[in-house]
Amino acid sequence: MAKANNPRLQAQVTPELKEITDKMLEHLDMSQAQFFEKYLPALFLAIDRGKYLELLETVYGNEELNRLIKTSERLG
């Protein structure tokens, strides 16, 4: 039931983009999951900061979100 309500999206990319992506991930020595976890948040912030922060608050809650912000401020 849950799968029917939330089907996974199948990415539609050209073979050329897939080849470039695979080679870059190999160059970076990262899996797709590692890449998404490390770099996708920055892309989401650049696209729509307000919506991304709203989703973070919804998913993590205020306390965890504040901890993440403090951690990122120390790193940045």
pLDDT of residue 75 exceeding 90, the answer is no
Q: What residues does each domain of the chain span?
A: 14-75
Q: Indicate if the alpha-carbon torsion angle 48, 49, 53, 54 is positive or negative.
A: negative
pLDDT for 1-33, tens place per residue? 455 665 666 667 899 999 999 999 999 999 999
Residue 29 has phi, psi (to 5 degrees) of 55, 50
Residue that is written with structure tokens 């991930």 in the block: 25
Specify the pLDDT at position 70: 85
pLDDT for 42-64, tens place per residue? 999 999 999 998 998 888 888 88
One-letter amino acid identity for 25? L
pTM above 0.75, yes or no: no
